[in-house]
């Protein structure tokens, strides 16, 4: 079982999610992608996934590559000689985005843990 965890904090009247812990570099990259690059608007990444016009996309922190039926997610600023890549199917990626929007963006829980187990991403949230 792999995981990444974030906690919602307040600072100067602004609320944001702060990184708490991750079980691996891959899960850390996934968390950075969702909490920093996707944020509260999945539309760009959802449109990119569904439109095969471009094979690559990127945000401030992560880069995405489409290879067949898979999405490869990489840290854009990796200092590794061979950057670690998270690999997921297109269906997993779409479900991840939809769950992100429904369970985090709309509900704004105080804690979010994303667990990867048995080829499935599961969101656990606490208020």
pLDDT at 79: 87
Contact 29, 19 (CB under 8 A): no
Q: Which domain holds residue 21?
A: 2-126
pLDDT at 116: 96
Q: List per-block mean pLDDT (blocks of 10 residues) for the chain, which spans 127 residues.
A: 94 86 96 93 93 91 95 92 93 96 95 95 96
Cβ-defined contacts of 74-83 (< 8 Å, 24+):
74/29, 75/25, 75/29, 75/32
Domain count along the chain: 1
Beta-strand runs (E) in the chain: 2-11, 14-22, 56-58, 62-67, 70-75, 85-89, 111-117, 120-126
């Amino acid at each position: 079982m792999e995981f990444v965890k974030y906690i919602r904090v307040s600072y100067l009247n602004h609320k944001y999610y702060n990184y708490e812990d991750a079980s691996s570099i891959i899960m850390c990259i996934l968390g950075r992608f969702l909490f920093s690059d996707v944020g509260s608007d999945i539309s760009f990444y959802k449109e990119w996934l569904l439109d095969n016009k471009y094979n690559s996309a990127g945000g401030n922190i992560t880069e995405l590559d489409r290879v067949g039926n898979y999405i490869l997610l990489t840290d854009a600023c990796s200092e590794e000689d061979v950057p670690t890549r998270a690999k997921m199917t297109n269906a997993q990626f779409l479900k991840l985005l939809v769950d992100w929007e429904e369970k985090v963006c709309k509900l704004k829980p105080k804690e979010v843990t994303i667990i990867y187990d048995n080829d499935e991403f599961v969101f656990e949230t606490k208020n």
